[in-house]
Amino acid sequence: MDGSKAIVFTSRAGFLFGRPASFQRVPEGSAPVTSNLPWEKVQAEGEVWVRTVGGVTAMTTRSRRRRSPQALRWTLLTTVVMLLTANAAGYFPPGPVEEGFPENLLLVYSGYYSVQRPDFDPAGLALPTNLERVDGGDWLPADFVPYVAHLDWDGVPDDTFFDSFLFLGLRSHRGRAFDGEREQGEAALWFDWRWYLDRIFTPGKQIDALDQTVAAVAEVLGQPDYKVNVYIMIPYPSHKVTDFGHPDGSMGGPSLLPVENRLDMVRWYVDEVVARWQSLQPGRLHLAGFYWLQEHINPAVPDEDVLVRGAVQYVQDKGYKIGWIPWSGAMLATRWADYGFDWAIIQPNHMFRDGPGLIELAVQRGRDARMGIEIELDGRVRQPDGEARLYDYLNGGVRYGYVRDAMLGYYQDLDMLLRLYVEESGKRRYIYDDIYAFAKGSYPEPAPAAAYIQGRVLDGEGRPVAGARVEGGGRTTHTDAEGFFTLTGIYSAQTDIVVAASGLDPLAKEVATSRGGATEPYTFVLYPATELSVHDFDTTDGLAGTGVGMERVQSPRTQGDGAVQLTLQGGLIQSLRITPAPELRDWSRAQVAALDVLVSDPVTVRITLRDRRSASYSRLFELEPGAWRSIMLPIGDLVAGRYHDPIVAGTTGEIDPAAVDLVTLAFVGNAGTQVVVDNLRLQGLDRHRLVDP
């Protein structure tokens, strides 16, 4: 073989793992011809060529003299250690999943949570439905479906999704914390540690639920050998605990100040996980390893380095991996390899913290310290600012390469991706699809649109209406010069559509969406405007503000010569109450109720209508700054209770549109945000028509 050999290695926390070797002849003074990517020449006992692509270091050498295989092996190892030490930049690479290294790791929070989970009934999967949820952190088989599989708009799996699942919890049912340097009265004790193990190994739930779901998805997708990796947290034993108690809850247990006692508790926990796993024998899950829950390493804690290194060593001696996900400002975050962790992921915390450059800082740390990147989302994505922050993560993945080159973790609070999937009308379903595309490395190419509406807008004379605004299913578009439009990305079989144009009455109808051309295009006919002003805001009669500063301003809008400007004060309740005059309380004749709003910063407004029976209908609208927005509320929705948000207003949302006696506008926005409100009106009085396909 003339001494020519190519070997590929990867660096895992300072350790070298061999990849399959391939042989080739490399002429003296020539780079290997294995791809069009550049190789860097390094001198070391003959010629050594090295390149790094996606975190994998490839190396080839041509020896000037023949050596024994052992001598060659150790020369190469020495050279690679030297090269990786000097050139360790680059994210921690994704996978290989079959060796227990995650590509896309979902954090499954399974501690105690006093929140209500949305019900989800997956289509076409044989999963048990007779289990009762104890609290929000209790995972049932159906809860895992949108994470194990990507679901189409009918809820049917069409692909796999996350390949690895990390079970962790922050608090026990007693409210005690599994993380942090907690005092005796706050820290989780032995009883709480055992409670968490009992919880995740409950038959039919958590780990067992995931196993059942993977099996069901594998059958539907025709992948009989499909498995996923599982990691399980190790709670942090706080040195401030003077009495750790006993597993049965009695006190008089060991103090955790001596580091050996802390290590004993870690060893007990790891052994207990392994024993319970072997007893459960999940067929579709691979116990890849453990996760160190404490998100920083504090050198001020006595013997902290001994604890961390000892825990890591114990896990690895058992044949498992151990990973770590420090927060963005964690002490010693970039020193993770020094403590022996098998992998680490850095939290950017851009979703939760203000300040520029948090993603860029995480990228720099990830590259410099060879770490993966965490994608983070929670309920903030329901607001414009939170959604924009999430897309900073996704777009940053393309810009900085971590969408394909880095191990990725996904924090989604408790179940935000599930909530985005099941949300009525599919308003934010595209976020679920975009994160799936990101996990598969195809972002920003979107997942195929679920459904669409096509049509044309004409006026009463049959002429095309150009520039008409068409809204439906959380999406918006405008007609072209010939009045045609296509509204894409809708995730429901039927949706309300509102068509509006200047000088014409708006039209609101519930229509069927199309998949694969199943529905012919609609034709909508708009007639000259007929409207009735409910309040023109030229005076403050019938208005009452709570938590806002209210003043009169000039307005360029359609009625009157003024409007009301509100300055949000940042309080919990910021609202404007509008009491229609008695003769203006019958809204049943109209197509829509409309309101003009202009905001200086992103704002969410909840419009709540109350009828004379005190029944209420409530709906959220998100407003962006820069231009007036005409909010349109179809009267048919009030009657049917469609898109009603019951958090504040009642339960059914069905009200009598002929007896609307109170309108409340509740605003959520930053302190100092200015909101201009004008022209509450009814439009489309007794005159509308839809030409069906």
Give the 3-state secondary structure of residue 437: helix
Specify whether 272 is located in the same domain as 290. Answer: yes
Residue 343: its pLDDT value, please? 98
Helix 206-221 with 190-200: angle, nearest 10 deg: 20
Pairing of strands 228-234, 285-292: parallel
pLDDT under 50: residue ranges of the chain: 1-28, 31-88, 558, 648-650, 688-693
DSSP state of 182: -
Residue 463: its pLDDT value, please? 94
Residue 654: its pLDDT value, please? 82
Residue 439: its pLDDT value, please? 97
178, 345, 414, 635 from 417: Cα distances, Å: 25, 20, 9, 31
**pLDDT tens-digit readout, 146-188:** 999 999 878 899 999 999 999 999 999 999 999 999 999 999 9
Return d(Cα 537, Cα 154) in angstroms, integer. 45
Specify whether 505 is located in the same domain as 617. Answer: no
Q: Which domain holds residue 507?
A: 452-526
Residue 550: its pLDDT value, please? 67
Specify whether 245 is located in the same domain as 159. Answer: yes
Residue 141 within any structural domain of the chain: yes
Residue 16: its pLDDT value, please? 30
Specify whether 491 is located in the same domain as 475. Answer: yes
Specify whether 402 is located in the same domain as 298. Answer: yes
Residue 534: its pLDDT value, please? 85
CATH number of the domain to which 578 belongs: 2.60.120.430
State the burial class of residue 196 (Cβ atoms within 10 Å of its Cβ: 0-12, 13-18, 19+). Answer: buried
CB atoms within 10 A of CB 388: 12
List Cβ neighbours of 371 (8 Å cut-off, separation of 6 or more). Answer: 91, 92, 333, 334, 336, 344, 345, 346, 365, 406
Q: Which of 13, 168, 169, 165 is nearest to 102 (CA)?
A: 165
Residue 92 within any structural domain of the chain: no
Return d(Cα 50, Cα 62) in angstroms, integer. 12
Residue 120 within any structural domain of the chain: yes
Residue 656 within any structural domain of the chain: yes
453 DSSP β-pair partners:
487
Per-residue tokens: 635 = 């009267």
Residue 91 within any structural domain of the chain: no
CATH number of the domain to which 249 belongs: 3.20.20
Residue keyed to tokens 């958090």: 647
95, 166, 292, 326, 397 from 347: Cα distances, Å: 19, 15, 14, 6, 14
Q: Tell me how many domains the chain contains.
A: 4
Residue 316: its pLDDT value, please? 98
Specify whether 311 is located in the same domain as 395. Answer: yes
Specify whether 117 is located in the same domain as 206. Answer: yes
Return d(Cα 340, Cα 310) in angstroms, integer. 10
Q: Which of 409, 407, 441 is nearest to 101 (CA)?
A: 407
Give the pTM.
0.68
Specify whether 78 is located in the same domain as 198. Answer: no
Residue 363: its pLDDT value, please? 97
Residue 447 within any structural domain of the chain: no
Specify whether 187 is located in the same domain as 331. Answer: yes
Q: Of 439, 466, 484, which residue is a domain's last?
A: 439
CATH number of the domain to which 465 belongs: 2.60.40.1120
Residue keyed to tokens 């972002």: 443
- Could you tell me the strand order of the sheet in which 475-478 lies? 475-478, 469-472, 494-500, 507-512
Residue 310 within any structural domain of the chain: yes
Residue 245: its pLDDT value, please? 97
Specify whether 134 is located in the same domain as 169. Answer: yes
Q: Of 415, 439, 463, which residue is a domain's last?
A: 439
Residue 549: its pLDDT value, please? 67
Specify whether 156 is located in the same domain as 297. Answer: yes
Residue 401 within any structural domain of the chain: yes
Specify whether 104 is located in the same domain as 150. Answer: yes
Q: Of 86, 120, 136, which residue is a domain's last?
A: 86
